[in-house]
């Protein structure tokens, strides 16, 4: 069970949980005895409040959500860490279909992490390569250790055609300043990876994890990408090709984090917890706030606490 130290820390935790499932989260606003923020599910906005007092501690208030189905989805996510979405794209038991035809899978790493870049990867596999990916144990990177991810990444790049786009922090902050929306930025990155893949493979089928509106990636694609069949699913990492992409993305993210640690002489915790806030304060003391854009995603609430 997660133990929050204060309402702001709890907001960061909730934000990371929602964003890890592709749900857009607004900045918070302070209210009496707490704070409030909104999330967007299927293009609908829902208000969530967090209250903090000495008697009851910290409490998440969902009373403003009147849509029963949305409320159930949010409660499932907060209790289990995964959304139980009802979708024709998912089998009754919740596992994504794995078609036999050639497929490009895309996934990202770093979107919920204050420090480090955003990395998007794409992998192509036909039926034969999918078997090899299953044989080597390709799985959702969130279930694997960094050492296992490193070994699998070496094997995947040896048997698959792939593309990796790394959006470093300086470039990320420039893009976010112009776009002002994380899901649109993610869509832009996925679209660039898809376009890169289409330059090296003849494949019209693409599967990615769903975040925000399904039209976001489609609208960001260029001429060649507009002729593909793009499918987006919640928990798309259950498909072995998307899982392989998640491994490559996470591997490059971890490498980038190690490089930042070496360059600045300090460790950068992953995620957006209170430990991350303390590390950000340490970084500002050591290197100055003007250098923060080189290592962090400035639109996170953490920046306002420094």
Q: How far apart are the first and last CA of the chain?
A: 28
pLDDT, tens digit, 9 for 90 and up, residues 150-166:
999 999 999 999 999 99
The answer to whether 186 and 209 have CB atoms below 8 angstroms apart is no
Q: Tokens in use for 127?
A: 């039926």
pLDDT band at 68 (very low <50, low <70, confident <90, very high): confident
pLDDT at 284: 95
Structural domains of the chain, with CATH: 7-80 (3.30.310), 103-257 (3.30.420.10)
Across residues 96-105, what is the average pLDDT? 69
What pLDDT score was predicted for residue 88? 29
What is the average per-residue pLDDT within 134-144? 88
Q: Using an 8 Å Cβ cutoff, are 83 and 224 in contact?
A: no
Average pLDDT, the chain: 85
More confident of the two residues 212 and 251: 251
Q: Which pLDDT band, with edges at 50, 70 and 90, does 224 fall under? A: low
pLDDT tens, residue by residue, 18-48: 877 778 888 888 898 899 999 988 778 899 9
Q: At CB < 8 A and 24+ separation, what contacts does 278-283 make?
A: 279/115, 280/114, 280/115, 280/305, 280/306, 281/306
pLDDT digits (tens, 9 = 90+) for 176-198: 999 888 889 999 999 999 999 99
Q: Is the dihedral of CA 41, 194, 104, 144 positive or negative?
A: negative
Residue 97 tokens read as 């279909």
Residues in the chain: 306
Q: What is the pLDDT of residue 172?
A: 96
> How many of the other CB atoms lie within 10 Å of CB of 1?
2
Please give the backbone phi and psi of residue 137, each rounded to the nearest 5 degrees, phi first: 90, 25
User: Can you give the pTM of this predicted structure?
Assistant: 0.68
pLDDT single digits (tens) 241-278: 999 999 999 999 999 999 999 999 999 999 888 899 99
Residue 53's pLDDT band (cuts 50, 70, 90): confident
């Amino acid at each position: 069970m997660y133990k929050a130290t204060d309402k702001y820390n709890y907001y960061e935790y909730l934000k990371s949980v929602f964003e890890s499932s592709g749900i857009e989260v607004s900045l918070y606003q302070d209210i009496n005895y707490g704070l409030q923020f909104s999330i967007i599910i299927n293009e609908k906005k829902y208000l969530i409040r967090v209250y903090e007092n000495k008697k009851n501690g910290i409490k998440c208030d969902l009373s403003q959500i009147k849509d029963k189905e949305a409320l159930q989805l949010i409660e499932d996510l907060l209790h289990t860490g995964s959304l139980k979405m009802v979708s024709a794209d998912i089998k009754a038991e919740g596992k994504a279909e794995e078609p036999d035809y050639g497929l490009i899978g895309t996934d990202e790493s770093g979107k919920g992490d204050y420090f480090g870049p955003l990395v998007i990867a794409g992998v192509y596999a036909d039926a034969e390569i999918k078997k090899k990916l299953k044989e080597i144990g390709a799985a959702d990177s969130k279930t694997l250790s960094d050492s296992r991810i490193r070994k699998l990444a070496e094997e995947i790049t040896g048997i698959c055609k792939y593309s990796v786009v790394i959006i470093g922090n300086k470039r990320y902050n420039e893009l976010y300043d112009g776009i002002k929306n994380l899901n649109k930025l993610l869509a832009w990155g996925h679209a660039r990876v898809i376009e890169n893949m289409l330059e090296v493979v003849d494949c019209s089928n693409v599967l990615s994890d769903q975040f925000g509106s399904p039209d976001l990636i489609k609208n960001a694609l260029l001429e060649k990408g507009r002729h593909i069949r793009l499918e987006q699913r919640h928990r798309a990492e259950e498909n072995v090709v998307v899982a392989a992409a998640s491994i490559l993305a996470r591997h490059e993210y971890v490498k980038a984090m190690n490089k930042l640690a070496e360059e600045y002489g300090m460790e950068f915790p992953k995620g957006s917890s209170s430990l991350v806030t303390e590390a950000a304060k340490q970084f500002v003391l050591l290197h100055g706030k003007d250098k923060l854009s080189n290592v962090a995603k400035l639109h996170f609430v953490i920046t306002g606490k420094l």
